[in-house]
Structure 1
Amino acid sequence: EKNSHEKLPPASVTKIMTMLLTLEAVDSGKIKLNDMVTVSDYACTMGGTQLFLAPGEKRTVEELLKGVTVESANDAAVALAEYLKGSEELFVKSMNERAKQLGMNDTHFSNCNGLPIENHYTSAYDIAIMSRELLKHSKIFNYTKIWMETISEGRQKPFTMVNKNKMIRTYNGCDGLKTGSTDEAKFCISATAIRNNMRLISVIMASPTRDIRNKEAGKLMDYGFANYEDVKLADKKDVIGKVKVLKGKEPSINAVPRDDFNILIEKGSKSEITKEIRINKTLSAEIKKGQKIGEIIASMNGKEIGSMDIVSDGTVKKASSIDLIGKSFREWITSGK
């Protein structure tokens, strides 16, 4: 890690946030991959790397997302931004709001594609944060691993996209994520690779050449794979315990991890990890599925190294007065009094 919080222009690595917001909208059901998007005049004025979209051209969300991911198309990024929020300006507002939610404190976006513009910057640390968040959406690998693909339907002249991330063909295990370069930003990349079920992210900014950028990104991941291991501390399917629910239609609810809880540690240090589980002893209805009811905290040598929310695995609705009277009556009968 070196100068990880230095604020620098990210060029097209910016598009990681555009990709993230798009897939969040898809996975939440707000939009669909096969939705048709009508390309605006404004989107077609972007220049730089592009799909050469025409005003009024119709493309699916998925085609545009491929264009952003594979070709790093500036026009496709704006078309998605406008479809999601009505204008690039409103979309950029959402980008900054999401960055704040993720704790990206070194970041301010001014456009959705990373073309040179004032007051547009981030850091290697923040890029790693948004990259990690994007990788939670497994659909992204349907696009980051594409090497070449041709868009021909509805076009007089087919256009072949070629992935700007050459590391997916040169680095063992690399399957993403996003490159970027401008005269101002120089050469940037957020690369990711997986080996033996361990995934790493490597971020390089302001490299003087493309080759040096890729070489340095590879060196970082080489170091990570050689010196670190991924340890699973909890599985999202694990039932950690039952929690009593007061005034609920059900007497208790299962407590489970919100997600798989994995920690990246130096090889050979697994025995030094301690795990503390904190769960509310009782809850009051109504309890919603996925509601936080506790926390798993991992520490090493007295220092916290990670945490995972514990949540309810279902919903417990509040019992009505009649339900409560019936419950009391059943308990009275059972007690034999």
Structure 2
Amino acid sequence: MKKISSFICCLILISSLGIGSGHTFAAEGKTELANDAKSAILIERDTGSILYEKNSHEKLAPASMTKIMTMLLIMKAIDNGTLSWKEKVRTSEYAASMGGSQIFLEPGEEMTVEQMLKGIAIGSANDAAVAMAEKIAGSEESFVEMMNKEAKTLGLKDTHFQNTTGLPVKDHYSSAYDMAIMAKSLLKYEDITKYTGTYEDYLRENTDKKFWLVNTNKLVRFYPGVDGLKTGFTNEAKFCLTATAKKNNMRVIAVVFGAPSTKVRNAQVTKMLDYAFSQYATHPLYKNGQSLGEVKISKGEKKYIHAVTNEPISVLTKKGEKVDHLKKNIKLNENLKAPIRKGDIVGSLTIMKDGKVLVKSDLVAKENVKTAGWWKLFKRSFGLFTQASK
């Protein structure tokens, strides 16, 4: 039988990498990158390091950037198997009645989950967002409860949702910092950028109601590397954008709230992206989904499952800096009992340098483990008994 340690601590030397001074690089920066926005933030995706911020915890109306959380819960449902890409979603009277940006769903009309997600990610469709909320949670109100619960799970303190769309309503708010963390979490699901990064597509193809989708985020077309995530506009919120871009090994997230125009909003985000890619470098350590050990499961159909990373693990540096002598701590949980769901936390990974934590990330179950039946448990116990008596 494999022996699984609950705590593994080893030193690794990575001579080809570089290391910065900590999680917040913004303190050193006097550069003003978002003069014309109410609030803004710039982070590196893998580490969450803050490269720039301005009023990043101010509670403001997020408009359609709300749909980042909506898409996050959709992607979680697909990942855990409670929803499939080709599953049909029926449009209710209520969903079809949504105003603002929409794909003009009719009551009773059905589209697949993938088609609905295209409508949300590319066209910012309010009707599709509500239809998906009803599909997953039964009602928009129940889905909003899920959104607020997820916000708490992510540790967000400046966010409260009242709907799935971002349409104006009292007590519906977020902050640049919280929006960046939501985007960071959404980007764990790498398939999402196939949709948020598409500039144009079609719905209802091969029908007389063919609908042209054009991405509301024009940087997808005009800034190399941008592949998401979500724009927002209302009269209250003004022009908002949570953008992400990837060049070489580095992915960054830039958030702007309250710019006076689309042109200014895009210029502010472009300035932040240019700054990130010119000043910093990301050095990958582990890929998303990489196994870092096995954990023992009691009373499960399987006795062991892999503990895997649930996001890319990297180290961030100023350009030209080098790293060595990183310390890697892998902690695997004990006393885990079936059932276990894919994505459940089963351990943690910490990367340190000179006693300072650079990266801390959960390790999660690679797959579902059902509770074993009594006959399987009996045979397993009987096998152990006969083995011990030899």
| TM-score using structure 1 length | 0.84
Q: CA deviation at 1:158?
A: 2.7
User: Counterparts of 1:23 and 1:247 in 2: how far apart (Å)?
Assistant: 29
Q: Secondary structure at the match of 1:62?
A: helix
Query: What residue is the counterpart of 1:322 in the other structure?
Result: 382
- 2:361 partner amino acid: M
The range that moved more, 305-314 or 87-96, is 305-314
The range that moved more, 295-304 or 72-81, is 295-304
User: Counterparts of 1:34 and 1:98 in 2: how far apart (Å)?
Assistant: 25
User: Counterparts of 1:324 and 1:68 in 2: how far apart (Å)?
Assistant: 54
- 1:299 partner amino acid: M
1:181 to 217, 224, 233: 233
Structure 1 residues 327 and 140 mapped into 2: Cα distance closer, same or farther (>3 Å)?
same
Query: What residue is the counterpart of 2:3 in the other structure?
Result: none
Q: CA deviation at 1:218?
A: 1.3
| Larger helix percent | 1
**Structure 1 unmatched runs, 5+:** 331-337
Q: Which runs of structure 2 are paired with 1:171-320 in the superposition (5 Å)?
A: 171-234=223-286, 257-259=308-310, 260-271=312-323, 274-279=326-331, 294-300=347-353, 302-309=355-362, 320=380
* 8 Å contact kept, 1:39–1:56: yes
Structure 1 residues 105 and 51 mapped into 2: Cα distance closer, same or farther (>3 Å)?
same
**Structure 2 unmatched runs, 5+:** 1-52
- The sequence identity of aligned pairs, in percent, is 44
* 8 Å contact kept, 1:275–1:296: no
Structure 1 residues 27 and 291 mapped into 2: Cα distance closer, same or farther (>3 Å)?
closer
Query: What residue is the counterpart of 1:82 in the other structure?
Result: 134
* 8 Å contact kept, 2:346–2:363: yes
Q: Residue 119 in 1 paired to residue 119 in 2?
A: no
Structure 1 residues 293 and 178 mapped into 2: Cα distance closer, same or farther (>3 Å)?
closer
| Residues 182-220 of structure 1: CA deviation (Å, up to 9, x unaligned) | 110001111111111211111111111111111111111
- 1:325 partner amino acid: F
| Residues 92-123 of structure 1: CA deviation (Å, up to 9, x unaligned) | 11111111111111100000000100100001
| Residues 3-33 of structure 1: CA deviation (Å, up to 9, x unaligned) | 1111110100000111111121112221222
User: Counterparts of 1:21 and 1:308 in 2: how far apart (Å)?
Assistant: 20
Query: What residue is the counterpart of 2:214 in the other structure?
Result: 162
Rg larger in structure: 1
| Root-mean-square deviation (Å) | 3.2
Query: What residue is the counterpart of 1:333 in the other structure?
Result: none
Query: What residue is the counterpart of 2:27 in the other structure?
Result: none
* 8 Å contact kept, 2:307–2:346: no
Q: Secondary structure at the match of 1:275?
A: strand
| Residues 148-173 of structure 1: CA deviation (Å, up to 9, x unaligned) | 22323485433211110000111111
Q: Secondary structure at the match of 2:323?
A: helix
Q: Secondary structure at the match of 1:42?
A: helix
Tell me which of the two structures has the higher relative contact order, counting C-alpha pairs closer than 8 angstroms and 6 or more residues apart: 2
Query: What residue is the counterpart of 1:99 in the other structure?
Result: 151
What is the number of equivalent residue pairs in this alignment? 326
Q: CA deviation at 1:305?
A: 2.3
- 2:160 partner amino acid: H
Q: CA deviation at 1:72?
A: 0.6
User: Counterparts of 1:138 and 1:129 in 2: how far apart (Å)?
Assistant: 16
| TM-score using structure 2 length | 0.74
- 1:203 partner amino acid: V
User: Counterparts of 2:329 and 2:196 in 1: how far apart (Å)?
Assistant: 37
